[in-house]
Amino acid sequence: MRKLLTTVFALAVMSGAAYADTIKVGVIGPFSGPFALQGKNFKAGIDAFFAINGNKVGDNQIEVVYRDVPTADPAKSKAFAQELIVKEGVQYLAGFYFTPDAMAAAPLLQQGNVPMVVMNAATSAIVSASPNVVRTSFTTWQTATPIAKVAKEAGASKMITLVSDYGPGIDAENAFKTAFEKEGGKVVESIRMPLNTNDFAPLMQRVKDSGAEALFTFLPSGPPTLAFVKAYNDNGLKTAGIKFYATGDLTQESDLPALADAGVGLQTSFHYAVSHDSPENKAFVAAAEKAIGNPAELSFPAVGAFDGMYVISKMVEATKGKQDAATAVAAVKGLAWTSPRGPVVIDAESRHITQNIYLREVAKDASGKYYNKEIRTFEKQGDPGLAAAKK
């Protein structure tokens, strides 16, 4: 009898331990090097989530383990993902700023019984790489499609596209072209610019010669965006009335102080602006600014990370802390909540986030700070890129 009691007690203790575990989440992102700012935003978003919601789900404590992949490096990303799953015993993988990094780690998910929550990488195809992938960021197709409508309604019928010559740039070109032609407009020329272009003056001459009434551009945030906008202003395109449209990558909040007056009036479409007016966002921004240290550095990857942690917390809740990727992913399919960016849903079929896309205009507030002012909302935008890829 005593022996039986001991066994029962031991079992109780053991199962108790199993239900009050520390659940590890492995986050892979660029935390040093040229893209360190984006990694810092991941971390700020995650820290903000813990600051607001605490790091406990039920009895389980969530612990985040970071791994640094400074630039897009699929081999390194895969090695870290494997190390996190096998040695660290993480139950969830998250982060991923670059598409190739997410793609490289995706084949490990099934065997490792681990869900992946993509917090940034924006190529449509990632969700097809494994049934365990859920994405809380955006796709380039998703953000580039609505602005075609804006351009057409503003009176442009002939447009030129200029995109950086790499995956997301080409996505943006295709997305815009598809949407603009659907609206009845015509893209007269599509230029792909090498990633390391620093003098855009000759390209502005191309824009002038093409006879387009407006231009659409996609550039990854960083030094070239500044040179591009300056070239647009300095070469007289602005005064010639050629309108400027882009995705929000170009007016990332951390780049706005450098763009300064040159950026005022630029219209971009994106899923999140730090200035978004809602109580959820105010609470998020306050916590994230505290986490990142310098408020000027806060931008969109933070909200992807914040919502990514929300999704993971729901997964932990559904699996009660046990490692079960299929249940975890199934639990968040169709999950709807109010994110700092507005109402969002994880689409049950694609596992990608359906969200509002906002048209924003760069403006200057009373204190002289530049911000993205939301002027129009395109509600419940899914990812048109996945459908386009299936065709």
* Contact between 163 and another protein per CB under 8 A: no
Residue 235 found at the interface with another protein (CB under 8 A): yes
Binders of another protein among 332-361, rule CB under 8 A?
A: none
Among 21, 73, 83, 165, binds another protein (CB under 8 A): 165
Q: How far is residue 126's CA from residue 301's CA, in Å, rounded to a whole number?
A: 17
Name residue, tokens 């070109």: 173
β partners of residue 193 = 164
- Residue 30, burial from CB neighbour count under 10 angstroms (0-12, 13-18, 19+): buried
- Told to check if 239 binds another protein by CB under 8 A, we report yes
How far apart are CB 225 and another protein at their closest, in Å?
9
Find, among 197, 229, 217, the residue nearest to 143 by Cα: 217
Among 199, 367, 368, 390, binds another protein (CB under 8 A): 199
Tell me the closest approach of the beta carbon of residue 350 to another protein, in angstroms. 32
In the complex, minimum distance from the CB of residue 282 to another protein, in angstroms, rounded to a whole number: 23
- CB of 389 vs another protein, minimal distance in Å: 23
- Min. distance of Cβ 6 from another protein in angstroms? 57
Compose the 89-108 pattern: x for residues touching another protein by CB under 8 A, - for all others: --------------------
Cα separation, 84 vs 4, whole angstroms: 39
Q: Does 71 sit near another protein (CB under 8 A)?
A: no
DSSP 88: I
CA distances from 75 to 69, 79, 81, 82, 217 (A): 10, 6, 10, 11, 31
Of 32 and 110, which CB lies nearer to another protein in the complex structure?
Answer: 32
264 interacts with another protein by CB under 8 A: no
Q: Are 280 and 22 in contact (CB under 8 A)?
A: no
* Site size for another protein (CB under 8 A): 38
Please identify, using beta-carbon distances, which residue of 99 and 221 lies nearer to another protein.
Answer: 221
Residue 136 binds to another protein (criterion: CB under 8 A): no
Closest approach, Cβ 215 to another protein, in A, equals 14
Interacting residues of 145 by C-beta distance below 8 A, sequence separation 6+: 175, 176, 178, 179, 357, 381, 384
* 364 near another protein, judged by CB under 8 A: no
DSSP symbols for 98-164:
SHHHHHHHGGGHHHHT--EEESS---TTHHHH-TTEEE-S--HHHHHHHHHHHHHHTT--EEEEEEE
CB of 342 to another protein, least distance (A): 26
Contacts of 126 (CB under 8 A, 6+ apart): 99, 102, 103, 106, 118, 133, 135
Convert residues 207-226 into a mask of x (bound to another protein by CB under 8 A) and - (unbound): --x------------xx--x
Closer to another protein at the Cβ: 77 or 299? Answer: 299
- Whether 139 contacts 118, CB under 8 Å: no
Applying CB under 8 A, does 188 fall inside the site for another protein?
Answer: no
Q: Does 202 bind another protein (CB under 8 A)?
A: yes
Contact between 265 and another protein by CB under 8 A: the answer reads: no
**Contact stretch for another protein (CB under 8 A) within 5-13, 123-131, 241-249, 292-300:** 292-300
Neighbour count for residue 311 (Cβ, 10 Å): 25
Contact flag: residue 331 with another protein (CB under 8 A): no
Counting contacts by CB under 8 A, is residue 251 touching another protein?
no
Lookup: tokens for 186? 């015509």
The separation between the first and the last C-alpha atoms of the chain, rounded to the nearest angstrom, is 68
DSSP 223-286: HHHHHHHHHHHHTTTTTTT-EEEEEGGGG-GGGHHHHGGGGTT-EEEES--TT--SHHHHHHHH
- Rule CB under 8 A: say whether 236 interacts with another protein: yes
Residues of this chain, 28-47, that bind another protein according to CB under 8 A: 33-34, 36-37, 40
205 binds another protein (CB under 8 A): yes
Q: Please, which residue, 194 or 334, has the CB nearer to another protein?
A: 194
Query: For binding to another protein (CB under 8 A), which residues are involved?
Result: 33-34, 36-37, 40, 165, 191-194, 196-199, 201-203, 205-206, 209, 222-223, 226-227, 230, 233-236, 239, 254-255, 257-258, 260, 294, 296-297
